[in-house]
Amino acid sequence: MSAVDLDDPEAFAEADPDDALGVTLDAPNRWEQGAALAEGAAPPGEPAAVLVAGMGGSGIAGDVAAALAAERLSYPVVPHKDADLPAWVGPRGPVVAVSHSGTTEETLAVARAAVAAGAPLVAITAGGPLAELAAESGGQVLAVPAGGQPRHALGHLAGALCALLGAADDVPAAVAAQRAVVTALGPHVPTEANPAKQLAAAIAEVDTVEVWATSAPSHVAALRLACQLEEQAKLPAGVAALPELAHNEVVGWQEGVAGATRRGLVVLRDPASETAAAADRLAPALAIVEGSFGFVARRAVDAPGDPMLARLAALCLAADLVSVYAALARGVDPTPIASIDRLKAAVAEARAQEDR
């Protein structure tokens, strides 16, 4: 498929047959719907901590919740992206299992272990074995709409999870902030006035992208952007955050690393949540590494609004738009994930061989 002119909406349909762009633009409605699904729900008992089990496009909801918890909850929320159950989980450590399909192997393993350990279980899912397990064990099921790619269900999953954790009042602000992003960065806005399209065009010219963050909320958005560039634009991407990257990553990208023109660096910022330690180190760190990148997009997306969830939701939607635009600018269909399909098939075949 040839590259698409980002200012030619008529070309989008052929390049994006499953309408990943349209689904992305629907994110504000999905956040609103997700919060409504959890109306009246709450974590069981008085949790000492909450484990959020989830993988891939579903698992990012746990990262959103962890950032939310750090700002306004009296207990930590711990994202968990593996198949084991941490030893601390028990009756006062409920598990929220997030799987859009309800069939994610690792998430199901954690959910089963949680039930065996006596931990209360909440399932956020469209159905499948996960919903059945939660219902049979006396847990809660927050049923989100089925269909589509899990990565496109972030609004349903994160909206429901944030409402479950008592932040439903923050969701309207998040929805409003995302609608402002659609207005500012949507496909109707020409490239000359659209920072998301400009960034996507730059990304389309490189072979890999590093994404830096300067705060906990922007770190979640940076992770989202990296994952979306990988799945939608089919580009490898890495993530690092200040101030930690000033102690390691800055050395790896020091001046003179070969191949600079084929790499890009994107810095996502949420100034309202930055610590002085992060803010003070950004400019010196960029001065050290910028010679190792073909472009450096500084403050590529600002996240307006308050509360923090609104800024984070805005950053995540902007990241999603950049990733779809980058896919189209590269001539890549944003929806298929052939490598993941092949990997799952290989694992299934290997297990079948073992059972023979």
Q: Residue 276 domain-assigned?
A: yes
Q: Residue 337 domain-assigned?
A: no
pLDDT digit string (tens) for 95-136? 999 999 999 999 999 999 999 999 999 999 999 999 999 999
Same domain, 115 and 245: no
Q: Residue 335 domain-assigned?
A: no
Same domain, 157 and 201: no
What pLDDT is attached to residue 351?
A: 84
Mean pLDDT of the chain: 93
What pLDDT is attached to residue 175?
A: 96
Q: Residue 14 domain-assigned?
A: no
Segment 276-287 shows an average pLDDT of 96
Residue 323's pLDDT band (boundaries 50, 70, 90)? very high
Q: Residue 350 domain-assigned?
A: no
Query: Does 314 have pLDDT greater than 90?
Result: yes
- Write the DSSP symbol of residue 274: -
Same domain, 202 and 114: no
Question: Which of residues 130, 151, 166 is at a domain's end?
Answer: 166
Same domain, 152 and 199: no
C-alpha 193/C-alpha 191 separation (Å) is: 5
Same domain, 159 and 282: no
Q: How many domains does the chain have?
A: 2
Query: Does 191 have pLDDT greater than 90?
Result: yes
Same domain, 93 and 202: no
Q: What CATH number does the domain containing 212 carry? A: 3.40.50.10490
Same domain, 162 and 195: no
From the number of C-beta atoms within 10 Å of its C-beta (0-12, 13-18, 19+), residue 235 rates as: buried
What pLDDT is attached to residue 326?
A: 97
What pLDDT is attached to residue 7?
A: 95
- pTM (2 d.p.): 0.95
Same domain, 233 and 296: yes
Query: Does 158 have pLDDT greater than 60?
Result: yes
Segment 171-180 shows an average pLDDT of 95
- The residue ranking higher by pLDDT, 50 or 306, is 50
What pLDDT is attached to residue 302?
A: 60
Share of the chain above pLDDT 70, in %: 98
The residues near 51 (Cβ < 8 Å, ≥ 6 apart) are: 78, 80, 85, 86, 89, 93, 94, 95, 96, 110, 114, 119
Query: Does 300 have pLDDT greater than 70?
Result: no
C-alpha 176/C-alpha 181 separation (Å) is: 9
What DSSP string describes 29-43? HHHHHHHHHTTT---
The residue among 235, 249, 239 whose CA lies nearest residue 286 is 249
What pLDDT is attached to residue 1?
A: 65
Residue 92 and residue 43 in contact, taking contact as beta carbons nearer than 8 Å: no
Copy the structure tokens of residue 311: 């800024």
Q: Residue 275 domain-assigned?
A: yes
- The residue ranking higher by pLDDT, 228 or 256, is 228
Same domain, 84 and 210: no
Is residue 139 helix, strand or coil? coil
What pLDDT is attached to residue 299?
A: 67
Phi-psi map region of 40: left, alpha, beta (phi>0 left; psi -120 to 50 alpha): left
Same domain, 159 and 204: no
Q: Residue 5 domain-assigned?
A: no
Segment 68-97 shows an average pLDDT of 93
What pLDDT is attached to residue 91?
A: 87
Residue 303's pLDDT band (boundaries 50, 70, 90)? low
Structural domain span for residue 124: 21-166
Q: Residue 347 domain-assigned?
A: no
Same domain, 122 and 195: no
What pLDDT is attached to residue 13?
A: 87
Question: Which of residues 166, 181, 216 is at a domain's end?
Answer: 166
- Rounded to the nearest angstrom, the gap between the alpha carbon of residue 154 and the centroid of all alpha carbons in its chain is 7
pLDDT digit string (tens) for 244-268? 999 999 999 987 788 888 999 999 9
Same domain, 259 and 322: yes
Query: Does 279 have pLDDT greater than 80?
Result: yes
